[in-house]
Structure 1
Amino acid sequence: MTSAASNATRTRTFFQAAWVKFRKHKLARVGGAVLLLLYLAALFADFLAPYPEIHGFRNFSYAPPTQIHFQDEQGRWTRPFVYGFQIGRDPNTFQKILIEDKSKKFPLYFFVRGEPYKLFGFIPADIRLFGGPAFTTSSEEVAVFLWGADDFGRDIWGRIWYGARVSLCVGIAAALCAIVLGMFFGGLAGFYAGINSRISFGYGNRELYAHLRAARGAALAWMLLKRVGHLALCLGMAYLAYTTLVGYLSTARGLELFIGSLFVAGAAWLLYVLFWTGIRLDPDNVIMRLTEVLSAIPGLLLLVILRALFPQQLSPTATFYIVVAILALVGWGGLARVIRSQILSIREAEYSQAARALGASDTRIIVRHILPQVATYLIVTVSLAIPGFILSESGLSFLNLGISEPAASWGLMLSKAQANGITAFTDRPFLLIPGFFIFLAILSWSFLGDGLRDAFDPRSK
């Protein structure tokens, strides 16, 4: 009787209850399973691809998907094989076409030795999923393209998995960096919001006079220094106006000189106000105004402008880090606003006020009371922000502003279809396969994010 009562009163923890609710979300489980397969395929891309990432066949440009045969000429089932190819011409369009040469038959083997690679980046290996003796020698008369070839004769099947490393990982990396920035600035704005927590830069007249009043003759010295500063500022502005007028009358670039003079005068006035008279800044107002400026600029336009600041001829690794940094810089504003609202409500909670009344420091309140409450929200936010970053990276690569050749990216591969125009829909539909994987990854992340949001929402039943 006692054990039954104890089992009846036993309650689940928060994460156990969240797991139970997540398992009931079928679309979230499907999305998680699809993402698991995609990331495993990206991790073992060298094993799945029959050829290296940059390997191409000069005679197989825009080759259609290779037909794999399972029956011989007599109709008997046999080992999978492909025929050789001969290069011919279409009598109507005079374009180069590939014709199967049935006099040459090449068997297809699984788990064969091919071009060497490094598994996980550091383990030497040469086992590939499928291939054959003729494939390992890079024969120009035979090749296997499960999903066709691109303009350089590179296997689209293999480049899909090579490109998944960039397109899938850039979303997670950019989301984590944006979360760090959004958590820092959003937490700063939310926790220190209010007039009582304003940060002061420099000393105002009253503050500095109070500090110097105890010193003998310091107050008089300060007043004299202040008057000298005012006089120097007025003389400097007058001289600046004189040189501007002379330059405007004597040079052909007077407008540029006038605008530059206004900029210098404004900077001088700002420095004077900041360090002589003192200024108080509310971090909440400063950060929120900055996020409003970021949200006012169209996202794609801001991405293109920031990417244009860096050279185009960079290594794929350097370009990857630059794209991640740009995506995080553009995407942290919205996250900071939501985190600020979360922290504002948690800061006014009873346990936070009780900890402050007991003498707890700001660091202890943030670490022990605020961050645990925001952690579940961050999990949901990351899962929902990743699809947007994946789509943004694909857009940059589609515009040839992201990952560059010879590296692979789904957006970069999709640009091949755009370069072919309507031909990609009529004669070469296999060039649109990267677009399907972009759609699949974004849809799967959206399903997973919805499931996590429903599971971690304490108000859901």
Structure 2
Amino acid sequence: MSDVTLLPPAAGGDPGDPDSTTASAAASTDTKADPGTVGQWRMMWRRFRRHRLAMTAAVVLGMIYFVAIFAEFLAPYSPSTRFDDLQYAPPQLIRPVDTSDGFAIGLFAHGYEVTTNEETQRRTVSIDESVTAELGFFVKGEEYELFGLIPWDRHFIGPTDPDNPVFVLGTDRLGRDMLSRLVHGTRVSMSIGLVGVAASMVIGILIGGLSGYYGGAVDTAAQRLIEFIMCIPTLPLWMMLAASVPDDWGVLTKYFAITVILSVIGWTDLARVVRGRFLALREEDFVEAARLDNCGSLRIIRRYLLPSFSSHIIAALTLAIPAMILAETALSFLGLGMQAPAVSWGVLLQEAQNVRSLVSAPWLLIPGIAVVVAVLALNFVGDGLRDAADPYNTGGRRWRKRT
């Protein structure tokens, strides 16, 4: 006589009913299988978390955008504040201990000394170790409007004595704090990439989607337009479009104009990617089923085609943002984009065009370091998203190490 193992009865079922026992076993199996089932976005997030370089770059990128959002609060001064006696002042080193007058713990920096050459009447600013300036957090300073709405006069860090200023990154030729200008320039340079990519995404998806979905004459016309734009040399096209911007436009108007210029140039690559995906997906069974269900073309594109490769679009857009930032920086550096009194990384790099900045004031090149860090962070995040969105990337290397 063989041993028989009885399964526990389902809730409300009969212990002697074999159908009830079978249903209970199936329910138990399904319950155990459900936790192992994950969606596409959660699977992308798991793969992205395993990309350590991309995660580190995402943290750096988050810090950069945090600086851009709270620029007024984080900057010690406004970008236009001038210190007439401290032109080309060198950066000051912040130290945690001061022993000039006893022993004190905090944030301290040496002051400045201004000397004048009697023959040339040229003033030189140097570090004076006999003078000590103290810094503090949440100090009272220049008034501003946080987010353009909340009036406030507190700054995250700054000198406790307004008569003894501190410039961590030095000053420019007009005596303006480079750190404050760099922080305020982060908002323009980083946001113009997002706005430009958003505009180019709309244009690229619209033209590329219609081209790939309808084909025929629509596809031919769209591809000829893309090829025409891509054949135009980039720099002359920038110069032509930037020259059409009137000089009497305000800062916000020029910002909008530069965004439009970058969007007109940057949508072609995304349009080709979308077209290729539409050509591959428009003959799939789920698209044919949607047609038979009397779904319109726009609904099929919006509800079925775009979501099927939305992860690839996100990765492509992430990799396109650095190109937008570099384009804005190049335009402003060449005098074709943002101009003073606007503040962006490209405008700040205009100060580094003369020989003196390279010899006597090399700290004016610091905005270039910010551009490199931001572009590298965006590229690494884009690479991580691209790898996470790849359905054939299953983390085989990590699996082999574990086994």
TM-score by length of 1: 0.75
Cα distance in 2 for residues equivalent to 1:178 and 1:64: 41
Unmatched runs of 5 consecutive residues or more in structure 2: 1-24, 395-403
Match of 2:156 in 1: 129
Cα distance in 1 for residues equivalent to 2:134 and 2:291: 75
Kindly report which structure 2 residues correspond to 1:40-79, keeping only aligned pairs within 5 A, or say none.
Answer: 40-68=66-94, 70-73=97-100, 76-79=103-106
Match of 2:284 in 1: 349
SS at match of 2:224: helix
The one-letter code matched in structure 2 to 1:320 is Y
The share of aligned pairs that are identical, in percent, is: 38
Cα distance in 2 for residues equivalent to 1:305 and 1:368: 39
The one-letter code matched in structure 1 to 2:168 is L
Q: Is the 8 A contact 1:64 1:147 kept in 2?
A: yes
Match of 2:61 among 24, 35, 56: 35
Partner deviation per Cα, 1:76-121 (whole Å, 9 max, x = no partner): 3344344554421369987421245566544322211111111112
Residue 327 (1) aligns with residue 255 (2): no
* CA drift at 1:5: 6.2
Match of 2:176 among 154, 176, 183: 154
* CA drift at 1:43: 1.1
Cα distance in 1 for residues equivalent to 2:85 and 2:195: 38
The one-letter code matched in structure 2 to 1:449 is G
Runs in 1 of length 4+ with deviation above 6 angstroms? 91-94
Partner deviation per Cα, 1:286-320 (whole Å, 9 max, x = no partner): 11101001110122321221111111332111111
Query: Cα 1:353–1:116, aligned 2, differ >3 Å: closer, same or farther?
Result: same
Match of 2:107 in 1: 80
Q: Is the 8 A contact 1:53 1:407 kept in 2?
A: no
Cα distance in 1 for residues equivalent to 2:167 and 2:154: 18
Cα distance in 1 for residues equivalent to 2:360 and 2:185: 23
Residue 340 (1) aligns with residue 275 (2): yes
Match of 2:337 in 1: 402
Q: Which moved more, 1:100-109 or 1:382-391?
A: 100-109
Cα distance in 2 for residues equivalent to 1:456 and 1:91: 67
- Which structure's relative contact order is higher, taking Cα pairs within 8 Å and 6+ residues apart? 1
Cα distance in 2 for residues equivalent to 1:121 and 1:460: 45
* CA drift at 1:345: 1.1
Kindly report which structure 2 residues correspond to 1:302-317, keeping only aligned pairs within 5 A, or say none.
Answer: 302-317=237-252
Q: Is the 8 A contact 1:118 1:124 kept in 2?
A: yes
Cα distance in 2 for residues equivalent to 1:99 and 1:53: 22
Residue 186 (1) aligns with residue 208 (2): yes
Match of 2:364 among 427, 431, 440: 431
Aligned residues: 367
Kindly report which structure 2 residues correspond to 1:441-452, keeping only aligned pairs within 5 A, or say none.
Answer: 441-452=374-385
Q: Is the 8 A contact 1:72 1:78 kept in 2?
A: no
Cα distance in 1 for residues equivalent to 2:42 and 2:113: 62
Cα distance in 2 for residues equivalent to 1:99 and 1:376: 53
Cα distance in 2 for residues equivalent to 1:32 and 1:68: 28
Match of 2:326 in 1: 391
Unmatched runs of 5 consecutive residues or more in structure 1: 195-281
Match of 1:115 in 2: 142
The structure with the greater share of residues assigned to helix is 1
* CA drift at 1:143: 1.8
Cα distance in 2 for residues equivalent to 1:7 and 1:92: 88
Across the aligned residues of Structure 1 and Structure 2, the Cα RMSD in angstroms comes to: 2.2
Partner deviation per Cα, 1:47-75 (whole Å, 9 max, x = no partner): 11111121111111111112445323366
Q: Is the 8 A contact 1:454 1:460 kept in 2?
A: yes
Partner deviation per Cα, 1:182-210 (whole Å, 9 max, x = no partner): 1111111111112xxxxxxxxxxxxxxxx
Query: Cα 1:323–1:6, aligned 2, differ >3 Å: closer, same or farther?
Result: same
Q: Is the 8 A contact 1:168 1:390 kept in 2?
A: yes
SS at match of 2:324: helix
The one-letter code matched in structure 2 to 1:369 is Y
Residue 167 (1) aligns with residue 192 (2): no
